[in-house]
Amino acid sequence: MTDASGIVLDDAREGRIGFDEAILCEQKTVPQIAEIAFRSRDTVGRRFFTRLSAEKFAALPPDLRGALTYDAQSRTAVLGAAVLDTGPARIALVSAGSSDASVVAEAQATLAYYGQATKRIEDVGVAGIWRLLARVDEIAEMPIVIAVAGMDAALPTVLSGLVPSFVIGVPTSTGYGAARGGETALSAMLASCAPGLTVVNIDNGYGAACAAMRFLRMSGKVASVT
């Protein structure tokens, strides 16, 4: 759907792939975000916004702010009613350290928007591998693990060698100079020797959450066929 503003919303996306269109706010202006939110409220009734800074959220019209549920850590906002969790958690969000918390929060907020419960297991980076080993049995019980790490990003590789779960690696931009804003973490995950490790782009908690849901949905279909 489009109007004089030139904004085209893909309201049929959920019917095609099972996810409605999320709105990436980082490069959008406040008037553009407001226009999308107002139109969404009048049509589909729900919408998920990512990379929405606290400053942009505060600049939105007051009545629109009141219609949005905003989370500063994940920089996400939800328009419309919350979806209740569909059952016990099947996705673990495992992170190397507290510096990765915003990416973990984005993944968790995305999954919550679609009614998926999660289990957060934080600060288990391999620099203190005893912390990870102490919880590895708990992690192994989860069908899907989203592993979030920056710097050398060894956590997803180590996890993929310890648990049978479907592991999705999320490199983060955490780290000093040679980390290159997450490029080193991304390269390390892509070069992993752990078979089957799936990797998304730098800081892309949203993409990791969507990959997890695609896996859950398709695994359910396969189980029903067999």
Parallel, antiparallel or unpaired: strands 47-50 and 22-24: parallel
H or E segment at 138? helix 136-140
Parallel, antiparallel or unpaired: strands 166-171 and 198-199: parallel
| Model pLDDT for residues 184-202, shown as the tens digit of each residue | 999 999 999 999 999 999 9
User: What string of pLDDT tens digits covers the 226 residues of the chain?
Assistant: 445 567 889 888 888 988 899 999 999 999 999 999 999 988 888 999 999 999 999 999 999 999 999 999 999 999 997 777 767 899 999 999 899 999 999 999 999 999 999 999 999 999 899 999 999 999 999 999 999 999 999 999 999 999 999 999 999 999 899 999 999 999 999 999 999 999 999 999 999 999 999 998 887 655 555 4
CA dist., res. 189 & res. 208, Å (int): 14
The alpha helices in 24-128, defined as continuous H runs, are 30-42, 54-59, 62-67, 101-113
Which residues, listed in sequence order, are joined to residue 70 by a DSSP beta bridge? 77
Look at residue 146 and give its three-state secondary structure: strand
- What's the pTM? 0.91
| Model pLDDT for residues 30-77, shown as the tens digit of each residue | 999 999 999 998 888 899 999 999 999 999 999 999 999 999 999 999
For the stretch 169-203, what's the b/e string if a residue is b when 16 or more beta carbons lie within 10 angstroms of its beta carbon? bbbbbbbeeebebbebbbebbeebeeeebbbbebb
Look at residue 70 and give its three-state secondary structure: strand
Residue 106 in contact with residue 206, Cβ under 8 Å? yes
